[in-house]
Structure formats: structure tokens, C-alpha cells
A and B are shown apart, each in its own frame.
Chain A
Amino acid sequence: GENVEQHPSTLSVQEGDSAVIKCTYSDSASNYFPWYKQELGKRPQLIIDIRSNVGEKKDQRIAVTLNKTAKHFSLHITETQPEDSAVYFCAASEGGYQKVTFGIGTKLQVIP
């Protein structure tokens, strides 16, 4: 089955700096890579996703990149703000109704 590794496990950045979270996956059949943000005590919420037919996707301050050959993908947050503080999960799936496999999570702290 799919195995998703995520690092770092914790990340502290100064407000305004950029944050990068990296993930690798093992199953070459995976073609859908969502990222979830989980604020303290709340459910994970999708913040951005990317499919295997594109290499990069951007949504305001958030961007994701995907390297299918190397089987790794990354989340980039620019101009970080205190409200970006949360746990971020990367995930991989074959899409459709297939099971989603999550990374261990990265606890991001943005220091004002």
C-alpha cells in the first residue's frame, strides 16, 4: 500500500517568512495529492490539492509543487501570518473513491 512520509514534524517561523513542508510517497499509482490544515481541536480542512498532470498550483499565499519522477511534493506558504499556525497534513490517493493515505503531520507555529 501507499506510504507517505512528511517532514519536518514541527516548524517555527517568524511572521512574514516562508514555510515549506515536504512529503514523499511510495505508490506510483497515486495521482491526487491534497493538503489539509487542522486548527487546534477542529477537523482537518482541505486547503489545496494537486493532480499528477500538473507540476505546480498556487492559491494566493499557498502553493504546492509535485515531482512525479522523484515521488515528492511540497507545500509552500509565503508571508506567513499567525493564523497560519496549525497542523498540516499531506496526503496521497489514486483519486476518485480510493483511500487517502496521510502523512504524520507538521505542526507549524508562526511567531508574531
Chain B
Amino acid sequence: SQTIHQWPATLVQPVGSPLSLECTVEGTSNPNLYWYRQAAGRGLQLLFYSVGIGQISSEVPQNLSASRPQDRQFILSSKKLLLSDSGFYLCACPARGQGEDGYTFGSGTRLTVV
């Protein structure tokens, strides 16, 4: 079964500072990978997804970017954070092999922009 590692778990950053969140996956190869943001403790907003190395699709225009330098690595970045970038960021991949077709989620990064 897949395991997703995300770090850091929490992050407090000033407005205008850069951001780099990392997600790595174990137990699968060439997975689709997703970045979600959850603001105000509610809805899951899909930010980016990737079907392979170097392949990134953006779901919503925003201040963030994503990269996939390796098969099992997915990075979320920003050059200059905004207050509105605060939220709970979750990395996910398909949960095939566990009898389900949904997602396995990472433990998340709680980002507070001050």
C-alpha cells in the first residue's frame, strides 16, 4: 500500500517570503499526484495534479506553482507568499491496491502566513 510523506507539518511564514512544501510517495511507481488546499477547516480545493515527471496541470490560477522533479516527489512552491495562501495543504495519490479507487492523503502541512 502507498504511504505519503509530507513536511513540514506546520509552518509560519511572513508575507512575501518563499515557500517550498515537499511530498514523497512510497509503495507505488509513477502515481498521479495531487496538491489540495483546505482553507477555514473545510472544502478541499484541488490546486495541481501531475501524471508524471515534469507534467503539471493547474486547476486554479494562483500565487503557487508545483513541480515534479522525480517520479515519487511532488513540490509546491511560491516565490512570494500572500496572506490568502494560509491553509492546510494536503498531498494525495490514488489508493489502488487497497481495494479502493479513491485517494491516500499525506498528513498535511498547516501553513500560516503572517
- Check A93/B102 contact, CB under 8 A, given A41-B110, A43-B107: yes
| Cα of A43 to Cα of B43 in the assembled complex, Å | 13
Q: Across the interface, which residues of A come within 8 angstroms of B108, CB to CB? A: 42-43
Q: Across the interface, which residues of A come within 8 angstroms of B43, CB to CB? A: 102-105
Q: Specify the chain A residue showing the minimal Cβ separation from B6.
A: A43
Question: What is the interface of chain A mostly: helix, strand, loop, or mixed?
Answer: loop
Q: Is the CB of B44 within 8 A of A43?
A: no
Interface segment among A15-23, A32-40, A57-65, A70-78: the answer is A32-40
- Whole-angstrom distance from the CB of B86 to the nearest CB of chain A? 15
| Cα of A36 to Cα of B106 in the assembled complex, Å | 14
- Whole-angstrom distance from the CB of B14 to the nearest CB of chain A? 23
- Check A102/B44 contact, CB under 8 A, given A43-B106, A96-B96, A97-B96: yes
Tell which of B32, B41, B46 touches A87, judged by Cβ atoms closer than 8 Å: B41
| Cα of A99 to Cα of B34 in the assembled complex, Å | 9
Q: Give A contacts to B, CB under 8 Å.
A: 9, 32, 34, 36, 40-46, 49, 87, 89, 91, 93, 95-100, 102-105, 107
